[in-house]
Structure 1
Amino acid sequence: MSKVVMYSSAFCPYCHRAKSILDSKGVNVEEIFVDRKPDIRQTMMDKSGRNTVPQIWIGDTHVGGSDDLWALDRNGDLDPMLAKLAG
């Protein structure tokens, strides 16, 4: 996987928050909506071990949810992860 994938819900404020930071960094996000799609939500849960959205992968790395993404950015770890995708 060489992209950013985010399992999301249309009405989730945390999903919008996560998408906004990725958008601000110019990242194209493959957003997979789980609304009314129990099979896709189950796939997300099987992959992540979590049942909440968003669930975000940068490349092959599962970074977690919105708070996890923001923590990566605050710690200066997000930009290097994103740079590896471009590189």
Structure 2
Amino acid sequence: MSHAIVMYCRAACPYCVAARNLFKRKNVRWTEVSLDAEPDKRAEMIERTGRRTVPQIFIGDHHVGGFDDLDALEQEGRLDRLLAG
């Protein structure tokens, strides 16, 4: 059973695009919270993460962080285990 993935993002953010591409390569589904479409969600993101930059990624209840954090998990071989739950 895999965990739900939620990503706070913006359309034009290159790190958001990189995260999307990584998820596509992994063939996993994710939910996007678009700060372009729902700017009021920015305050929610900051409250949940303590961070102001996008993307901010959650896998289940685990706050991964941004794309650099996601990519580090992938490079360390830990992302697949986290995705699998």
- Return 5+ residue gaps in structure 2 as ranges: none
- Return 5+ residue gaps in structure 1 as ranges: none
How do 1:8-23 residues align onto structure 2 when only pairs under 5 Å count? Answer: 8-23=9-24
Tell me the residue number matched to 1:70: 71
Q: Deviations over 1:29-86 (max 9, x none)?
A: 10110026432001001001000000000000000000000000000110000111xx
How do 1:6-85 residues align onto structure 2 when only pairs under 5 Å count? Answer: 6-35=7-36, 37-84=38-85
Relative to the length of structure 1, the TM-score reads 0.91
2:58 & 2:37 partners in 1: Cα distance? 22
Percent identity of paired positions between Structure 1 and Structure 2:
49
Look up the SS of the partner of 2:40 in the other structure.
helix
Q: How many residues align?
A: 83
Q: Output the aligned Cα RMSD.
A: 1.0
Look up the SS of the partner of 2:20 in the other structure.
helix
